[in-house]
Amino acid sequence: MRWLPLVFFVALAACEVAPVARPLPVPERTQQTPQTQSGNSSQAELRQRADRAARNFVEVVETVEPVAERECRRVAPRMNCDFLIVVDDRPGQPPNAFQTVARNGQPLLAFNLGLIASVENADELAFVMGHEASHHIMGHLGRMQQNAAVGAVIFSGLASMSGASAANVRTAEEFGAAVGARTYSKDFELEADRLGTIITKRAGYDPIRGARFFTRIPDPGNRFLGTHPPNAARIDIVRRTASQI
């Protein structure tokens, strides 16, 4: 996997991925066949789509990141709020975005090309970015790790008390960590949706229009120990939050 800092993505968007689409010149006395014309049209359309996606992404980053940083300093003044936006440039990956932290403590907001290409408008991209930034602001990563540690201790302790073998104790520990990490994950997602709505709207985008992104992704339903809440619940909290801003 190769991560591209935003500065590199801007250069890529301006030069290689997204040149202005122009029809190829036709040599004199040479007539293009329908197949060649179709191929040129497809290439031009692809370049235009790449151009729109790249420019859309850069514009949203430049607009949303400062707002997310201000909100971070307001909600969690002791937290590192210097967001770094990175892009996973591997082709063919399913759409994905997530928040993590670099070794130096800097928060990273990661997006892959599939996600950037899948959004239908800037509002959707802004909402996704605000949502991921909110995970950091709310300290969800640290809280999830803490919950995982508690679950691991409890499950491994119970297994050890029951006389389980060392291998089974380790298995119980791993299972407990997974259960602990998922215990409040749905709540974390809704918290991030709420704060993400605020960031999106304060950045000048429409969070309700942005939340339509949920209508095009699989609905996880309300599964026990599922990691995400039902899409309807997420759209509802966006609407309720937006009406209160």
pLDDT of residue 178: 62
pLDDT of residue 221: 58
pLDDT of residue 149: 65
Helix (H) or strand (E) holding 156: helix 140-161
The model's pLDDT over 138-163, given as tens digits with 9 standing for 90+, comes to 998 767 666 556 556 675 676 777 78
| Nearest one of 94, 92, 68 to 84, comparing CA atoms | 68
Residues 6+ apart with CB under 8 A from 148: 177, 178, 180, 181
In the chain, the amino acid numbered 19 is P
Dmax (CA) for the chain in angstroms is 87
Q: Give me the sign of the Cα torsion angle 202, 206, 211, 213.
A: negative
User: Which residues of the chain are under the pLDDT cut of 50?
Assistant: 1-2, 6-33, 224-226
